[in-house]
Amino acid sequence: MEANKPLPIQTAFNVRELGGYVNIDKQTLKQGHFIRSGGISELSDEDCAYLYDYGVRTIIDLRSADERATKPDRLINYKDIKNYAFSLSEDAEPGKMQNLTISSMDQLYCRILDKSQAMIGEIFKIMLASKGTVLFHCTAGKDRTGVLAMLLLKLADVDEETIINDYAASYQNLLPYIHRLQKSLEDIHMKLPLHVFESDPQNMRQTLAYFNQRYTIRGYLTSAGLSEEEIDELRSQLV
C-alpha cells in the first residue's frame, strides 16, 4: 500500500497521518489519532490553526534538549495543547551525526529500539492518556519519528511493505528541508554522508528484520512497561 500523502501544511515538512492504512485483517486504521511529523518550530499562524482544528491536543517532541532550545515548537502554550519532550536519541541530532560510526541508518534505528525501550514505553503511556490527536515529531520526522511510527503500525498489524513505504516516503517529502540543511552545514564546514539524509527502504526492511529476530510487538511493549490492558487500549486507538 502506498504511503499517506502529507497534510496540507505549508510551514513544516513530512506531516502525515498514520490513519487510513489497511492492515492484514482488512481493517482500516482510524484517522485523527496519530500524526507523524518533522519539526514544527516554524509553523505559521494558519498552520497552527489547521492542526488545532484537525484535533491536535498533544505534542510529543523527540528531539534533544539542544534542538529544542535552538528551535522551540510553535505549539508550546498554544490554547489547550499539551507538550511533552523526550530526547529519544541524541545520536540522531543532525549536528552530531557526523560523529556516528554507522554505515546505514538501520543501525541507528536498532540502537534506538534496544537502548530507548523504557522511554518508548513512557511515550506510549502518554499517548494512551491523551485526548484528541497526538502529533509526534523530531527534526525531520524520519529517524526517531520513523521508529515510533513503525512500532505503532506493527501493533496495528499493518503489513511490513506498507510500513517500509511509510518510512521511505520521507525522503521525497523532505527534499526542500534537506537542501536547506545541507547548505547550512556547508556554511559551518560540516558534511554528512548521503545515507543520513535518505530514507532508503532497505533501512526499514533491515530494522524490521532485526526487530522480528529479537522481539514480538507485544513482548517489546510489555518489556517497555505497558500492561496487556494498556497495549490493547493503544491498539484500539489505532484500529
Give yes or no for residue 9 having a pLDDT over 90: yes
Give the global pTM.
0.92
Q: Under 8 Å CB-to-CB from 140, ≥6 apart: which residues?
A: 13, 14, 38, 39, 94, 170, 174, 177, 178
Lowest mean pLDDT across 21-30, 35-44, 184-193, 194-203? 184-193
Cell of 225: 512497561
Q: What are phi and psi of 135, to 5 degrees?
A: -110, 120
Reference 140, options 84, 87, 196, 193; nearest CA is 196
Strand 34-37 relative to strand 56-61: parallel, antiparallel, unpaired? Answer: unpaired
C-alpha dist (Å) from residue 84 to 12, 104, 122, 158, 174: 19, 29, 11, 27, 24
- Residues 70 and 160: their CA atoms lie apart, in Å, by 36
CA torsion sign, 9 to 14 to 17 to 21? positive
- Residues 79 and 89: their CA atoms lie apart, in Å, by 29
pLDDT per residue as tens digits for the range 125-179: 999 999 999 999 998 999 999 999 999 999 999 999 999 999 999 989 988 877 6
pLDDT per residue as tens digits for the range 11-53: 999 999 999 999 999 999 999 999 999 999 999 999 999 999 9
**pLDDT at site 175:** 82
Residue 186 banded pLDDT, cuts 50, 70, 90? low
